[in-house]
């Protein structure tokens, strides 16, 4: 056991002991002994002990109704505390001689490698300076923990950092331990699950809180690290306005299938972002006004400040007043829309100019050490976040735009847009886009749904360009889907360019993405309206739900290749927007590996991707963790741009064609063709109960129907709760199994060694298979599934074992993740806490269904706590 593992184990033990003491104080020694008996039984059962399994089952069966909730809470809280310890472990203080984490040295090592391959100093500095990476924060219905509790968890992590000093006196150690005890007690006595669904505005506020408490602090430190690495490698510095990583958001803008996101909600969220940005900058500027008391200043500075003994303070106080005015206007506008007074900041240059003037003056006067402190941090924030904090994307389903246009053309007596073929639609849309007259008369009274679409477009038209990101069209499948949005925006009064982004989600749409974009780029006038790169969004979640991850991953790869080729031929810049989720089943993968596995040429200095709810907290919830992940994004995008992966060999393509075809057939035979599947899914998983729980602002379904109507997130989440993890691996058992049976193992191994795309797919498949557990899934079947459907569950568990055997044969291991014992231990150590939660959840689901009513009161809460605990234990759950 290494020292690092020992320190992590000590922290887990400490937090667990403090939690146990908290539980004992409320419920007594006997209850704590029950918790410990359950844990030991689960641990022994995992090792194959029949006595341990019986002890676990008997202990859980012996719980009365009043004990179920606190038992569920105990195991849930321990898993959250284990996550805190593990997360802190990644960023803990390194002792002399200890190797620094890969995340902290990735850029430095990459720059050395790039220089050794012939890249010059100027080229490297220029490429870093123009990187365009945008992380799009999205709400996530499986992020069930309350903000209040998340803040307590962050405070616990801070206390672990306080404890991480060898020179602490015994008194200091005890004081820190007492603070930890108090924080854990506060967490224990805080209800961990929200009682009502969050609104879209609540979700946006959660996103703003991540910025305020973490990213606001992480970004300047991250930029200092980038600047230092660049200077050490090249002798050059980053420009003051460099912002290689920026942030956007879907929270309050994603209305796809969510009737709770309205035009008014988007307007409110935009104003809240203005208010929050002004408030955060105000804190910075007030601090700077206190610190910059110097008298010496440049001529340019003195010309602005006038004859004042403290010119920096004078200028900063003027900026402070404008920030106060901006904040006050935004707050007043939340109550009632009103025009902005002249002193409200409207453009980021108005924020940056006085700060830059102070910065250059200090350097000119020999006070660069002062300039490069908090003032530089503020300038870095201004470049990254601007006056609007995050750019709000708007997302809507293509069918909503088509329905609005159908109503409009019908009203105008032009026919029914819905009945026109693609050529008729394009002709009409092109003609109207080129027309100088309005499409609709002012007295037109649209239906409610069309009015909402038009009002959303008016919000876009009335908002500053810098406040908005892209307009994303879900389920796009034709050029007319893009032109339709452009026309509706024009009709709403938008007179500036805005990126209108088709999102290709299903297997068929991914295959058709290239021809759609090629046709668009060839339409008269389209390029004139483009004004920048052609952005295209690749949907990982729905394509995987449609076809399985084997076929979907290959379709996503091929679609990107085709788009790169078409845009290169058309001499148009391409920006690919990756709609990834946190799980393998939704395209999830460690960011660094995922970026380096993209097709060559697809990451050309630009990269846009979603970051979703619970993964936002795990990757960006603490400043140092956020800094590490920003380092990974920047170094991966830089490497993929300057040293892209190899083009796959023709034989690899043929192999992937076969793998994808076999995977697609196997996946759809189960999910689409088996008449029992939908019934089995709804009985074997908590899917129906999840739909009633207050997990997010949007409904679990886009529309009535079966699996095809489910959103990808609850589809994945339901299978994760039972540990079958079906969407992440189904299809691979046939794809790999058939290839191995054909004697193609050598070719597969060569692909895994030499092709980052294939290696990443197999690595993530292995990870999810290590987390899957057929025995746990069988428990759900035994208690919840009707007898005629049980053979299907058995068959699926057999397919799971086939997938495991195929991966082991391919990797040459005796055990999944045998090459990564630390990861394997991290997963296995949680099982003693996860197993009781699974068993409790099965019992609660059985009770609810037996009574044919929703479980009420404490048992209802216990069910939700079990959901949250399993999500915490498995981390990337939705």
Lowest mean pLDDT among 64-78, 93-107, 670-684: 93-107
How far apart are the C-alpha atoms of 808 and 71, rounded to whole Å? Answer: 37
Q: Which residue has the tokens 């033990």?
A: 13
Q: Say whether 205 is catalytic.
A: no
Higher pLDDT, 864 or 608: 608
Residue 248: helix, strand or coil by DSSP? strand
291: CATH: 1.20.1440.90
In-domain check, residue 35: yes
Residue 653: helix, strand or coil by DSSP? helix
Question: Which pLDDT belongs to residue 696?
Answer: 56
Could you list the residue range(s) of the whole structural domain that residue 376 is in? 263-387
Count of C-beta atoms within a 10 Å radius of residue 496: 11
Q: Say whether 152 is catalytic.
A: no
Residue 381: helix, strand or coil by DSSP? helix
Question: Which pLDDT belongs to residue 706?
Answer: 56
812 and 753 within one domain: yes
| pLDDT tens profile 111-126 | 999 999 999 999 999 9
Handedness of CA 339, 342, 343, 344 (dihedral sign): positive
How far apart are the C-alpha atoms of 457 and 495, rounded to whole Å? Answer: 12
669 and 757 within one domain: yes
737 and 848 within one domain: no
Burial class (CB in 10 A: 0-12, 13-18, 19+), 341: exposed
Residue 92: helix, strand or coil by DSSP? coil
- Is residue 710 within 8 A of residue 701, CB to CB? The reply is yes
Number of domains in the chain: 3
Query: Maximum CA pair distance of the chain?
Result: 89
Question: pLDDT grade, residue 581 (50/70/90)?
Answer: low
- Long-range contacts, 104-108 (Cβ 8 Å, 24+): 104/225, 104/628, 104/631, 106/592, 106/631, 106/632, 106/635, 106/636, 107/225, 107/226, 107/229, 107/631, 107/634, 107/635, 107/638, 108/229, 108/232, 108/233
In-domain check, residue 851: yes
In-domain check, residue 217: no
Q: Would you say residue 189 has pLDDT above 60?
A: yes
How far the first Cα of the chain sits from its last, in Å, is 33
Across 64-78, 600-614, 646-660, the highest mean pLDDT is recorded for 646-660
- Determine which one of 140, 217, 401, 490 is catalytic: 140
Question: pLDDT grade, residue 570 (50/70/90)?
Answer: very high
Helix, strand, coil percentages in the chain from 3-state DSSP, rounded to 5: 70, 5, 25
Burial class (CB in 10 A: 0-12, 13-18, 19+), 378: buried
Measure the CA angle with vertex 218, ends 214 and 220; round to 5°. 135
Question: Which pLDDT belongs to residue 471?
Answer: 97
791 and 849 within one domain: no
Task: Classify strands 468-474 and 574-579 as parallel, antiparallel or unpaired.
Answer: unpaired
How far apart are the C-alpha atoms of 77 and 16, rounded to whole Å? Answer: 9
744 and 805 within one domain: yes
In-domain check, residue 699: yes
Q: Would you say residue 313 has pLDDT above 70?
A: yes
How far apart are the C-alpha atoms of 459 and 115, rounded to whole Å? Answer: 48
In-domain check, residue 232: no
Contacts of 515 (CB under 8 A, 6+ apart): none
Chosen domain end from 366, 387, 408: 387
Q: Would you say residue 701 has pLDDT above 70?
A: no
Q: What is the DSSP letter of 675?
A: T
831 and 773 within one domain: no
> What integer best gives the mean pLDDT of the chain?
90
Question: Which pLDDT belongs to residue 603?
Answer: 94
Question: Which pLDDT belongs to residue 584?
Answer: 37
E strand intervals along 139-208: none
In-domain check, residue 336: yes
Contacts of 827 (CB under 8 A, 6+ apart): 770, 771, 817
828 and 711 within one domain: no
How far apart are the C-alpha atoms of 262 and 449, rounded to whole Å? Answer: 10
What is the arithmetic mean of pLDDT over 695-719?
Answer: 63
Measure the CA angle with vertex 217, ends 211 and 223; round to 5°. 110
Question: Which pLDDT belongs to residue 2?
Answer: 38
- Is residue 72 within 8 A of residue 845, CB to CB? The reply is no
792 and 688 within one domain: yes
Question: pLDDT grade, residue 699 (50/70/90)?
Answer: low
Burial class (CB in 10 A: 0-12, 13-18, 19+), 743: exposed
Measuring CA to CA, how many Å separate 239 from each of 356, 379, 466, 601, 867? 12, 11, 21, 26, 47
Chosen domain end from 777, 799, 819: 819
Question: Which pLDDT belongs to residue 46?
Answer: 85
Q: Would you say residue 585 has pLDDT above 60?
A: no
Chosen domain end from 342, 370, 387: 387
799 and 849 within one domain: no
What is the arithmetic mean of pLDDT over 590-598?
Answer: 86
Across 67-76, 136-145, 378-387, 590-599, the highest mean pLDDT is recorded for 378-387
- Determine which one of 545, 578, 619, 838 is catalytic: 545
Question: Which pLDDT belongs to residue 586?
Answer: 38
No. of H helices and E strands in the chain?
A: 39, 8
Contacts of 205 (CB under 8 A, 6+ apart): 272
In-domain check, residue 44: yes
852 and 807 within one domain: no
Lookup: tokens for 858: 């404490």
Q: What is the DSSP letter of 100?
A: P
Question: pLDDT grade, residue 878 (50/70/90)?
Answer: very low
780 and 834 within one domain: no
- Is residue 789 within 8 A of residue 680, CB to CB? The reply is yes
Q: Considering the chain, what percentage of its residues have pLDDT values greater than 70?
A: 93
| pLDDT tens profile 729-784 | 999 999 999 999 999 999 999 999 999 999 999 999 999 999 999 999 999 999 99
In-domain check, residue 520: no
845 and 703 within one domain: no
Q: Which of 550, 551, 611 is nearest to 581 (CA)?
A: 611
Burial class (CB in 10 A: 0-12, 13-18, 19+), 852: exposed
What is the arithmetic mean of pLDDT over 847-859?
Answer: 68
Question: Which pLDDT belongs to residue 642?
Answer: 96
Q: Would you say residue 192 has pLDDT above 90?
A: no
Count of C-beta atoms within a 10 Å radius of residue 196: 7
| pLDDT tens profile 441-467 | 888 899 999 999 999 999 999 999 999
């Amino acid at each position: 056991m290494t020292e690092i593992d020992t320190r992590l184990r000590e922290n887990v033990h400490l937090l667990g002991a403090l939690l146990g003491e908290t539980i004992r104080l409320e419920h007594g020694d006997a209850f704590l002994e029950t918790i410990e008996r359950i844990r030991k039984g689960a641990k022994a059962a995992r090792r194959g002990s029949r006595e341990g399994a019986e002890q676990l089952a008997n202990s859980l069966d012996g719980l009365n109704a009043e004990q179920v909730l606190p038992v569920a809470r105990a195991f849930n809280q321990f898993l959250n505390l284990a996550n805190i310890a593990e997360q802190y472990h990644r960023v803990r203080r390194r002792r002399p001689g200890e190797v620094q984490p890969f995340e902290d040295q990735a850029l430095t090592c990459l720059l050395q490698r790039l220089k050794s391959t012939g890249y010059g100093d100027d080229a490297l500095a220029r490429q870093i300076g123009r990187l365009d990476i945008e992380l799009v924060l999205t709400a996530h219905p499986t992020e069930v923990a309350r903000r209040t509790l998340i803040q307590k968890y962050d405070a616990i992590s801070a206390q672990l950092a306080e404890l991480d000093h060898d020179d602490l006196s015994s008194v200091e150690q005890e004081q820190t331990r007492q603070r930890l005890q108090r924080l854990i007690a506060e967490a224990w006595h805080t209800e961990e699950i929200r009682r009502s669904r969050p609104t879209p505005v609540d979700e946006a506020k959660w996103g703003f809180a991540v910025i305020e408490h973490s990213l606001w602090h992480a970004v300047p430190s991250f930029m200092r690290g980038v600047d230092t690495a660049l200077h050490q490698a090249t002798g050059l510095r980053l420009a003051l306005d460099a912002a290689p990583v920026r942030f956007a958001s879907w929270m309050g803008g994603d209305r796809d299938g969510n009737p709770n996101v309205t035009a008014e909600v988007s307007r409110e969220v935009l104003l809240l972002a203005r208010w929050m940005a002004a408030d955060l900058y105000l804190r910075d500027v007030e601090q700077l006004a206190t610190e910059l008391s110097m008298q010496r200043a440049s001529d340019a500075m003195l010309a602005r400040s006038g004859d004042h003994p403290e010119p920096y303070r004078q200028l900063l106080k003027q900026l402070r007043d404008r920030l106060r005015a901006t904040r006050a206007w935004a707050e007043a506008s939340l109550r009632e829309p009103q025009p902005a007074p002249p002193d409200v900041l409207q453009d980021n240059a108005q924020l940056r100019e006085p700060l830059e003037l102070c910065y250059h003056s200090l350097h000119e006067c020999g006070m660069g050490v002062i300039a490069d402190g908090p003032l530089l941090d503020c300038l870095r924030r201004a470049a990254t976040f601007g006056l609007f904090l995050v750019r709000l994307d708007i997302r809507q389903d293509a069918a909503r735009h088509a329905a609005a246009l159908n109503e409009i053309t019908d009203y105008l007596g032009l026919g029914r847009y819905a009945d026109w073929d693609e050529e008729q639609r394009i002709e009409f849309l092109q003609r109207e886009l080129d027309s100088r007259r309005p499409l609709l008369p002012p007295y037109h009274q649209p239906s409610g749904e069309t009015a909402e679409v038009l009002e959303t477009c008016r919000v876009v038209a009335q908002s500053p360009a810098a406040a908005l990101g892209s307009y994303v069209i879900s389920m796009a499948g034709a050029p007319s889907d893009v032109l339709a949005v452009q026309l509706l925006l024009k009709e709403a009064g938008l007179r500036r360019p805005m990126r209108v982004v088709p999102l290709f989600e299903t297997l068929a749409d991914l295959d058709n993405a290239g021809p759609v974009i090629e046709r668009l780029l060839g339409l008269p006038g389209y390029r004139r309206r483009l004004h920048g790169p052609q952005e295209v969004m690749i949907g990982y979640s729905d394509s995987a739900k449609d076809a399985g991850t084997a076929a979907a991953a290959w379709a996503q790869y091929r679609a990107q290749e085709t788009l790169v080729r078409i845009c290169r031929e058309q001499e148009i810049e391409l920006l690919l927007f990756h709609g990834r989720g946190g799980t393998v089943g939704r395209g999830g993968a460690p960011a660094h590996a995922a970026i380096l596995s993209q097709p060559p040429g697809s990451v050309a200095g630009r990269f846009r991707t979603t970051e979703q709810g619970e993964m936002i907290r795990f990757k960006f919830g603490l400043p140092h963790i956020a800094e590490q992940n920003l380092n990974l994004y920047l170094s991966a995008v830089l490497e993929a741009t300057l040293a892209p992966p190899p083009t796959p060999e023709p034989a690899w393509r043929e192999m992937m064609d076969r793998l994808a075809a076999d995977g697609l057939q196997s996946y759809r035979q189960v999910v689409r063709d088996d008449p029992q599947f939908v019934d089995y899914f709804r009985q074997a998983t908590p899917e129906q109960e999840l739909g009633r729980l207050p997990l997010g602002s949007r409904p679990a379904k886009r529309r009535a129907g079966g699996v095809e109507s489910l959103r990808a997130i609850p589809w994945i989440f339901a299978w994760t709760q039972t540990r079958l993890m079906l969407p992440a691996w189904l299809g691979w058992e046939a794809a790999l199994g058939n290839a191995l049976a054909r004697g193609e193992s050598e070719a597969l191994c060569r692909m895994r060694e030499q092709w980052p795309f294939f290696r990443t797919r197999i690595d993530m498949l292995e990870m999810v298979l290590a987390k899957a557990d057929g025995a746990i899934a069988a428990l759900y079947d035994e208690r919840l599934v009707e007898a005629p459907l049980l053979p299907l569950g058995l068959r699926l568990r057999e397919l799971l074992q086939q997938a495991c055997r195929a991966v082991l044969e391919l990797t040459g291991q005796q055990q999944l993740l045998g090459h990564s014992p630390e990861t394997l231990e991290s997963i296995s150590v949680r099982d003693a806490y996860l197993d009781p939660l699974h068993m409790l959840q099965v019992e609660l689901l059985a009770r609810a269904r037996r009574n044919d009513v929703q479980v009420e009161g404490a048992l209802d809460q216990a069910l939700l706590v079990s959901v949250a605990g399993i999500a915490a234990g498995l981390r990337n759950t939705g």
